[in-house]
A and B are shown apart, each in its own frame.
Chain A
Amino acid sequence: MQRPTEDFDAIVVGSGISGGWAAKELTERGLRVLLLERGKNVEHQKGYPNARKGQWEYPHRAGRTRAMIDAYPVLQRDYPLNEKNLDWWVNEQESPYSEIKRFDWYRGYHLGGRSLTWGRQSYRLSDLDFEANSKEGLAVDWPIRYADLAPWYDHVETHAGIAGSIERLPQLPDGQFQPAMALNCAEETIAGRLAKQFNGHRRIIPGRNANLTRPLPGRGRCQYRNACALGCPSGSYFSTQASTLPFALATGRLTLKTEAIVTDIVYDQDRRRAAGVRVLDAQSSATTEYRARVVFVCASTLNSTWLLMRSATDVWPGGLGSSSGELGHNLMDHHFRCGANGVIDEHHDRNVYGRRPTGFYIPRFRNFFGDKRDYLRGFGYQGSASRQGWQRAVAELGVGGAFKDAAATPGPWQIGATAFGEMLPNHANRISLDPAKTDKWGLPVLAIDCATGENERLMRRDMMNDMAEMLEATGVKNVRVFDNGYFPGMGIHEMGTARMGRDPKTSVLNAHNQVWDAMNVFVTDGSCMTSAACQNPSLTYMALTARAAAFAADELKRGNL
């Protein structure tokens, strides 16, 4: 192999879940890696100043003020806007985007990205998901199957630490789990009854979550504080800071630069390869070019495609990877905020001790097990049971001492769940550059044009009614359905816009996440998803990234890149 003349063997753009994995895997395979993060540094543990604060230590008790709402017109649309970790969400004045249709884009621009704030639910996809497009003749076929990814799920689960139970379900493969965080007694009761009904096809299982129930090197087991999104003092949940970055740094081969905005990928037209990247210093606006043999684009779904759209535009007006006409298209999310809840009038002499940072999961059962609906695909549920707290007193009649003392004791068990439904890939759901608006650094911002369709509308009826049916069938009282409304992006599971495929004419990436138009550029975050499935997607990004990194390292050794 020729002595490399590049500054680095590999450049990784983005330090979130996918970028952290790329940095770890590539450095551990001997590559000298430059990891670029557009936002500020957040040090593990030292960078979590609110981790141990009580509710009373926030001026508005962790709520939101009118001034916050004015400053965060997107973030205020849902729960993320609060006093607790405001600086782990993007500054919307500095980084605007355009909504051709309403799209709620919740971004974290800092080291670790949304790995610090994610919901940690971790589920494998199955061939039910990988084969769906092909069987239904929709969009394009995934270029991989479950067997291609299974060993990489094993690999990332073992290192990240996923708590889960072995269930032997065909639609939700088991993995390399740490012991599960158990269902509580109310959930266990309902789960037991549900398992005997619906031919056993509907099951309540413990949520599979990236929180340690057994320690791993450098990380302690979960202390059941359930304040994960503020940063974990014991490093017990998977984040870049806790799980991947320390291993990448330990190799001595990682260079990390924060506040480094990649403006474009430098494309060498003669070699038909990327030569490196151009970086804008977020503070000084100075630009620097870095060269490398491979580039991993892991900037998060929309940001990765945004970067491709800004790159090699002298060759392809639509940007690097646009030759198929699919770059920016097929944007997906999971639609949710729809389900049912009720009261369990049992187990009055039981409560939980400790705050479990997960709930239960009901794997998909629609359009499966011989079931056939008037829509395609399906949904899973996430929920939990808990004893009611003081909040119930707001709507109750009463004032005075007895009222106060009763409000300080638990109410009955309540149980509820929301479905997470698959959103179909649709060419019309797309992002593009807005020529009329730029961000703080002068980059043309993204315009997002995305909506759910008839399939999602039909699915939502079942998402709501099936949960009510299950609760009523298992003895839950006062069952109520809800549909709190959904706009794309709210799931914070944005996927697609640079899909994998088998044919360069209809896809942006090949089966190893290489951009067809520049084989030394890999895109391994949610952009690559060919379909959305209904499972929380981050674990799949981890597995795809680790797989692509191993492939890239091998190809470099073979002299193919």
Chain B
Amino acid sequence: MTITRREIIQQVTALLGGAALIGGDRLLAFAIDDEALTQAMTEGVGRFTPADVALLDEIAETILPQTSTPGAKAAKTGAFMALMVTDVYTPESQQLFRDGMRSVDEACRQAHGVPFLQAAPAQRLSVVEVLDREQKAAMDARLARPSNRAPAPTSQNDDPAHYFRMMKELALLGYFTSEIGCTQAMRYIESPGRYDPCAPHAPGDRSWAGHA
């Protein structure tokens, strides 16, 4: 199917206006999603260049690498992250995220003398482990609450999230909602047909992915 980015945007815009796409053909919608990710990789999306998408792919792959199941890169997670930041994040969060991409590169240069894309997988992992500890500490401090018997604040702290938490969250979301994530990393049956409220579960058995 040949479909341009402009046409995709027009159709997505129609979707956002509550018309056209929903009610359209199921396979067409699927093609658009996959096409949008492929196009983001080859042509970029929003402010993200193909090189940006490649960097996000490697960050995501370092967080969620290939094991006995495919990794984040195979699921086009970098392109998904770029699409989500472009379409969903506020301008302020977008800037934070993009600054964060530079911070990842800078951290890698300082630790290993090369930008992230040129670093070896072990070097990338060591960089990402440090950033993960940093974001975890920052986010835990931000969300701390005094007591289990007092409700959490109804509006979340307005301080911006740590950029690496954004990356990790988008990588997890993008991977585990992808077809690979649902059907290979986890298990998915569109129509289970029956309900067992107490089925056996052995260690290592994978999760069941949810329906959309």
Across the interface, do A66 and B195 meet the contact criterion of CB distance under 8 Å? Answer: no
**Does B136 lie at the interface of the complex (its beta carbon under 8 Å from any beta carbon of A)?**
yes
Q: Are A225 and B190 in contact (CB under 8 A)?
A: yes
- Within the complex, the shortest CB–CB distance from B162 to chain A, in Å, comes to 12
Q: Is the Cβ of A54 less than 8 Å from the Cβ of B190?
A: yes
> In whole angstroms, what is the CA distance A86 to B202 when docked?
39
**Binary flags per residue of B195-212, CB closer than 8 Å to A gives 1, else 0:** 111111110111111111
Contact, CB under 8 Å: A49 / B192: no
Q: Given A399-B125, A482-B151, does the pair A53, B212 have CB atoms closer than 8 Å?
A: yes
Q: In the complex, what's the smallest C-beta–C-beta distance from B77 to chain A, in angstroms?
A: 11
Please tell me if the beta carbons of A468 and B149 are within 8 angstroms of each other in the complex: yes
Q: Is A83 an interface residue (CB 8 A)?
A: yes
Q: How far is the CB of B78 from chain A (nearest CB, A)?
A: 15
- Give Cα A224 to B197, complex, Å: 11
Contact A390 B176 (CB under 8 A): yes
Distance in angstroms between the alpha carbons of A262 and B109 in the assembled complex: 68
Chain B hits for A452, CB < 8 A: none
Q: Is A393 located at the chain interface by the 8 A CB criterion?
A: yes
Q: Digit string of A420-431 for contact with B (CB within 8 Å is 1, else 0)?
A: 000000000000
Q: Which residues of B contact A68 (CB under 8 A)?
A: 16
A window 430-463: CB within 8 A of B: none
State whether A350 and B33 are in contact (beta carbons under 8 Å apart), knowing that A67-B87, A227-B212, A395-B139 are contacts in the complex.
no
Q: B111 contacts the other chain (Cβ, under 8 Å)?
A: no
Interface residues on A, range: 35 or more
Q: Look across to chain A and name the residue whose beta carbon is closest to the beta carbon of B198.
A: A185
Which A-chain residue is minimally distant from B170 (CB atoms)? A394
Please indicate the chain A residues that have their CB under 8 angstroms from the CB of B207 in the complex: 387, 389-390, 408-410
Q: Specify the chain B residue showing the minimal Cβ separation from A398.
A: B132
Closest beta carbon of chain A to B186's beta carbon, Å: 5
Q: How far is the CA of A326 from the CA of B68 in the complex (A)?
A: 67
Q: How far is the CA of A350 from the CA of B164 in the complex (A)?
A: 34
Q: Which residues of A contact B108 (CB under 8 A)?
A: none
| A408 in contact with B186 given A225-B191, A400-B62 (CB within 8 Å) | yes
B101 within 8 A of A: no
Judge if A183 is at the interface, Cβ distance under 8 Å: yes
In angstroms, Cα B165 to Cα A386, docked, is 25
B contact residues, range: 35 or more
| Given A55-B182, A60-B84, A66-B87: A49 and B177 interface contact (C-beta under 8 Å) | no
Given A55-B182, A62-B212, A224-B193, are A404 and B16 neighbors across the interface (CB < 8 Å)? no
CA distance A62 to B209 in the complex (A): 14
**In contact, B30 and A223 (Cβ under 8 angstroms):** no
Closest CB of chain A to B76's CB: distance in Å? 10
**CB closest residue in chain A, given B168:** A394
- Interface membership of A355, Cβ < 8 A: yes
Residues of A at under 8 Å CB distance from B?
47, 49-50, 52-68, 71, 83-87, 89, 91, 181-185, 187-188, 222-227, 230, 338, 347-356, 387, 389-391, 393-395, 397-401, 403-405, 407-410, 464-465, 468, 478-485
- A-B contacts, 27 listed (Cβ < 8 Å): A49-B25, A52-B190, A53-B26, A55-B210, A57-B26, A87-B19, A91-B18, A223-B193, A227-B211, A338-B151, A351-B200, A352-B196, A353-B195, A354-B195, A355-B210, A355-B211, A356-B197, A389-B210, A390-B176, A390-B186, A393-B172, A395-B139, A398-B132, A399-B125, A400-B65, A400-B129, A484-B154
Q: Which B residues have a C-beta under 8 Å from some C-beta of A?
A: 12-13, 15-19, 22-26, 29-30, 32-33, 36, 62-69, 71, 80, 83-84, 87-90, 125, 128-129, 132-133, 136, 139, 148-152, 154, 165, 168-169, 172-179, 181-182, 185-186, 188, 190-202, 204-212
Known: A61-B174, A481-B149. 13 other contacts (CB 8 A): A50-B26, A55-B211, A60-B87, A188-B198, A353-B196, A394-B168, A403-B64, A408-B69, A408-B176, A409-B207, A410-B207, A465-B149, A482-B151
